[in-house]
Amino acid sequence: MTDAAPLATPSAYADAVATAVQAAAAYYADGSTPLGDDEYDALVRGIEAYEAAHPDEVLPDSPTGKVAGGAATGDVPHSVPMLSLDNVFSADELAAWAAGLERRLGRPVDGWCVEPKLDGLAVAARYRAGSLVQVLTRGDGLAGEDITHSADAVLGLPARLTEPLDLELRGEVLLTQDQFDHANEVRTAHGATPFAHPRSGAAGTLRAKDRPYRVELTFFAYGAIGLDDLGHTALLGRLAELGANTAATTEAHPQRCATVEEVQQRVEEVAALRSALPFGIDGVVIKADTATDQQQAGSGSRAPRWAVARKLAAEHKVTRLLGVEWNVGRTGIIAPRAVLEPVVIDGVTITYATLHNPADITRRGLLLGDQVFVYRAGDVIPRVEAPLVDQRTGAEQPIAFPEACPRCGDPIDTSEQRWRCSRGRGCQAVASIRYAVGRDQLDIEGLGGTRAVQLVDAGLVEDVADLFALTRDQLLALERMGDTSTDNLLAAIETARNAPLNRVFCALGVRGTGRTMSRRIAAHFGSMAAIRAADAEALAEVDGIGVEKAKVIVAELADLAPVLDKLIAQNVGTAVTEPTAPSNAGPQEDGPQGPLTGQSVVVTGSMAGSPLDGLSRNEVNELIERAGGKASSSVSKKTTLLVAGEKAGSKRTKAEELGIRIVSPAEFAATVADHLA
């Protein structure tokens, strides 16, 4: 949380109020703002502190005590005021708020419900006899704006409830990350400027009329007028029964907690899930769970007294784009990287961010010197989202695109969105070799970065296939290569020659594939020669490869044809890859048979002290599939087994709630003992 400087004078206070009002107006109008969430929250806290010390000087425009900071308006009255939430910014503040609520009630709170605070726009959806008749924004809490015209584009907001009730659903409308990316593709294709970030996209889309294109959004219900006798947990269950989407469908699903200590733990779990969620959250909401507690606590003019938002550090910040670097990857892809004026996001100083590709730069209309939104979720690589066009001064300059490969100077293939050096992998032979010999690919010990550079510089290796033609004399001629190190390296290469086909194929680094897809391709075709001969139609039959991805892979295979031919001639990768279970496999479907046949397995936590200790997560996933199961990374209703090691965390909690069978790493190892390598 960013701390604001104390407001020491009436002038400083007035300036702060004016800045906050301007930021709130932008935020609630179209989701844009000259301030990040942290800066706005700190500014408002400074205003509140000044007003507490100088109650006679409170300005009428002050955002304190007002829904939406007093910035939003509406012309359609709400049936019941649609309030905001008060905020707390630390575990201590949350504990103090909970203690204050219990003092107000004169007794302990009878359970809490903890759920994600979705970063979208609050709406009210009115139903008559089960049919949707009107959708409103929150506005100023007393009246909102009619946005019914956008309702058919909002997924999760049913046109009809499953029962013919008179009801008003309340919830959040947002753009998931996939919806946001698709929306910007559609907008730029129609000549419109891209959205700055998902929240601005949601605000703009809900208000827009008569667009020549469609942008889908997603609704999450969190309340209702007309079901007031239900506690919050029960209410969410009832809303799901009526056909509304709720956060119960997500990894950060609402959870009932008995004590404040359990609440604090769940807040930490939801915060840890933040980077994996397919949509943005800016906090965690804590609510007294029972209707009795809520009714007795009541509400103020701005917010209910029985609920609070535990704000999390912002993931969006505004900073300046100082430059663009062009880097060449191991497959020859030329990737732009933004050089930023340093900015702290979620405790991390960001100086670089991805720009994806040249088309992305053009689509977003970026200029050097722009003020830009930068996004970071958890440990995900930061990315630049969009410029603040209205902040431009006229001094901004166009971004220069390279006319030749920045690494080798050869021509650039610009036929696709992702530009590529015409030499392809040959431009970054060292990077390709280092990837190929990694643990989850060929696992060739003794062939690190320095040795790879030696081999490429000596002209002995141009691609991964050349490794298998190396001779003892060639290696001995290299600097610092003695008899022992040479023999060890040759032995490791010989072991890799007999690696399963999927590992050899994965070592090629084919675009559109990874470790899991390499296993599926290898199991489907059975030999490198069959893969080499496959066309797009044949590849599209592999589980998880559609028509479009198949075209990309075929093009890659054509580019790799000389390497594939050498591997085939040298009998590399002839070891059989066992069939893997299809992604939608069930107990009766074809696939490998074993103790996990028909099982969907999630592995979490440390495997220390078990026979699985020392295996990478990829190797454990391969083990699951050899034993007939399907490996998954997240717990859901489809999960049938959780392998929970030390510090299993939220996945174990969710598995327990769903009644999923949980075993220790040692128990799991005993089950699949016959399939352990």
Rounded Cα gap, residues 115 and 222, in angstroms = 9
How big is the chain, counted in residues? 677
| DSSP letters spanning 104-166 | HHTS--S-EEEEEEESSEEEEEEEETTEEEEEEE-TTSSEE-B-GGGGGGEETS-SB-SS---
Catalytic residue among 117, 311, 630, 651: 117
Task: Report whether 17 contacts 63 (CB < 8 A).
Answer: yes
Calculate the CA 418 to chain-centre distance. Answer: 22
User: Phi and psi at residue 603, in whole multiples of 5°?
Assistant: -115, 130
The answer to whether 643 and 611 are in contact (CB under 8 A) is: no
Taking alpha carbons only, the member of 491, 478, 477 closest to residue 446 is 491
Please list the helix, strand and coil fractions of the chain in percent, rounded to the nearest 5, in that order: 40, 20, 40
Instruction: Give the residue carrying structure tokens 């075993």.
Output: 663
Q: Are 372 and 385 in contact (CB under 8 A)?
A: yes
List the structure tokens of 559: 């580019």
Strands (E), 313-431: 316-328, 334-345, 348-354, 371-375, 383-387, 412-413, 420-421
In angstroms, the CA 63 to CA 33 distance is 15
Q: Active site includes 66?
A: no
d(CA 293, CA 207): 36
Tell me how many degrees the CA angle 144-145-147 measures, rounded to the nearest 5. Answer: 130
Tokens 């609440």 -> residue: 263
Tell me which residue of 169, 144, 150 sits closest to 245, measured CA to CA: 169
C-alpha span between 626 and 345 (Å, rounded): 42
Pairing relationship of beta strands 167-174 and 641-644 according to DSSP bridges? unpaired
CA distance 433 to 536: 27
What span, in angstroms and rounded, lies between the C-alpha atoms of 58 and 556?
Answer: 66
How far, rounded to the nearest angstrom, does the alpha carbon of residue 255 sit from its chain's CA centroid?
A: 21
What's the distance, CA 538 to chain centroid? Answer: 32
Cβ contacts of residue 643 below 8 Å, gap of 6+?
601, 602, 603, 604, 663, 664, 665, 668
Q: What is the DSSP letter of 302?
A: S
Closest CA to 170 of 246, 115, 112, 241: 246
Query: Please, what's the b/e burial string for 527-557 (b: 16 or more CB within 10 A of its CB; e: otherwise)?
Result: ebeebbebebebbbebbebeeebbebbbebb
> Phi-psi bin for 521: left (phi > 0), alpha (psi -120 to 50), beta?
alpha
Give CA–CA dist 168/369, Å, rounded: 47
Q: How far apart are CA 412 and CA 420, in angstroms?
A: 6
Q: Which residues are catalytic?
A: 117
